[in-house]
Amino acid sequence: MVRIGIVGIGFMGMIHYLAWQRVRGAKVVAISTRDRVKLAGDWRGIKGNFGPAGTQVELAHMRRYAELDDLLADNKVDLVDICLPPALHARVARAAFAAGKHVLCEKPIALALPEAESMRRAAERAKRMLLVAHVLPFFPEFATALKLVQGGRYGALLGGHFKRIISDPLWIKDFYDPRTVGGPVIDLHIHDAHFIRLLAGMPQSIASTGRMRGEVVELINSQFLYGAGGPTITATGGVIRQQGRPFTHGFEIYLERATLVYDFAAFITEPARTPLTLLSADGKVTQLRLGSDDPIEVFAAELGEAARAIKTAKPSALLSGDLACDALRLCQRETESVRKGKPVRV
């Protein structure tokens, strides 16, 4: 049994709490938050852009800590699940490693590469695992696409386009602050940067254009440049200022003998969806059968992968700290390209 302590009870902390209930061989035994209302189980004020609304939660059976140090001192906690704002990830992770705990950290791993690298070094010194919760590869459409690309049945990867755009997240007051949340590129587009890294490896350079909002990029268009013979990959991500479409994401992935198409848009009226569809070389159009699209189930798959890694002492290829650092590096280079108005080396 992997025993989990969740640090931070905001939207993601709540989602992780609900998802852990569906993971066999794992149990949330403790939580930590300085919010006395949430510590008492009143989570009705929690808001997000997917999944269930915040509600009242029964926590009488749970060890509850107002101070982080008290949770870290709890010898019945094996894995610290960090669901705090990104600016706190590195400090809390280092403290958890010093206390002898494994760490699962919500994405992004950190706001700056030196902080991310310090987390990796702390994990190595403590001989504990650093797992970074990039959930996208566990969504059925993305998991299936990754499997098809890596399996090679339809030939080599020729290219792709990815998009991830939200309406302004008005409930996150520090969203555009590079020192706390990081803005749309670091907080949102990093999902696609991470997935592109999984699919195609690190590009040689990046060329990005974008619209600034204060110190961060609000909307970005990027080319991931792999050199002669490499795949042609582009991505769009960021924020629109209209609330009528809270979220959209999707992709087209081009292989030698097939194209994969997926699109989802959450309009406030009703969603519009193109299910994952395979266009094959013989002219057929096939909608692929996938697993559940329940978002809690998707997070349960991600957290189950973390529990498996801890129980077997075998690192996860999908939740790797190295991979998370590469995704952060890509996002920082993209922002640099926007600011300089020219391609930059990765």
| 155: its two tokens | 């030939």
Before 275, cis peptide (omega within 30)?
A: no
- Going from N- to C-terminal start, the domains of the chain cover 2-134, 136-297+327-345
Q: For domain 2-134, which architecture applies?
A: 3-Layer(aba) Sandwich (3.40)
Number of Cβ within a 10 Å radius of residue 196:
24
| 282: its two tokens | 């013989």
Angle at 311 between CA 307 and CA 313, to 5 degrees: 110
Report the C-alpha gap between 278 and 153 in whole angstroms: 12
Full pLDDT tens readout for the chain, 346 residues = 999 999 999 999 999 999 999 999 999 999 999 999 999 999 988 877 677 788 888 998 999 999 999 999 999 999 999 999 999 999 999 999 999 999 999 999 999 999 999 999 999 999 999 999 999 999 999 999 999 999 999 999 999 999 999 999 988 889 999 999 999 999 999 999 999 999 999 999 999 999 999 999 999 999 999 999 999 999 999 999 999 999 999 999 999 999 999 999 999 899 999 999 999 999 999 999 897 778 899 999 999 999 999 999 999 999 999 999 999 999 999 999 999 999 999 9
| 250: its two tokens | 């999707």
Report the C-alpha gap between 90 and 164 in whole angstroms: 26
Cα distances (Å, whole numbers) of residue 294 to 31, 163, 298: 24, 21, 6
Do 88 and 15 touch, CB atoms closer than 8 A? no
Cα distances (Å, whole numbers) of residue 136 to 33, 35, 107, 189, 214: 26, 29, 11, 11, 28
Q: For domain 136-297+327-345, which architecture applies?
A: 2-Layer Sandwich (3.30)
pTM of the model: 0.95
Phi, psi of 221 (to 5 degrees): -125, 125
